Amino acid sequence: QVQLVESAGGLVQPGGSLKLSCAVSGSTSNSYSMAWFRQPPGTEREFVAAIRRGDGKTLHGDSVKGRFTISRERGKNTVYLQMNSLKPEDTAVYYCAATTKNPIFSYMPDKGAYDYWGQGTQVTVSS
pLDDT at residue 31, as a whole number: 85
pLDDT per residue as tens digits for the range 63-94: 999 999 999 987 788 999 999 999 999 999 99
pLDDT at residue 55, as a whole number: 86
Question: Which residues in the chain show pLDDT less than 70?
Answer: 30
**Long-range contact set of residues 73-80: C-beta below 8 Å, sequence gap at least 24:** 75/30, 76/23, 77/23, 77/24, 77/27, 77/29, 77/30, 77/31, 77/32, 77/34, 78/21, 78/22, 78/23, 78/24, 79/21, 79/22, 79/34, 79/36, 79/51, 80/19, 80/20, 80/21, 80/22
pLDDT at residue 102, as a whole number: 86
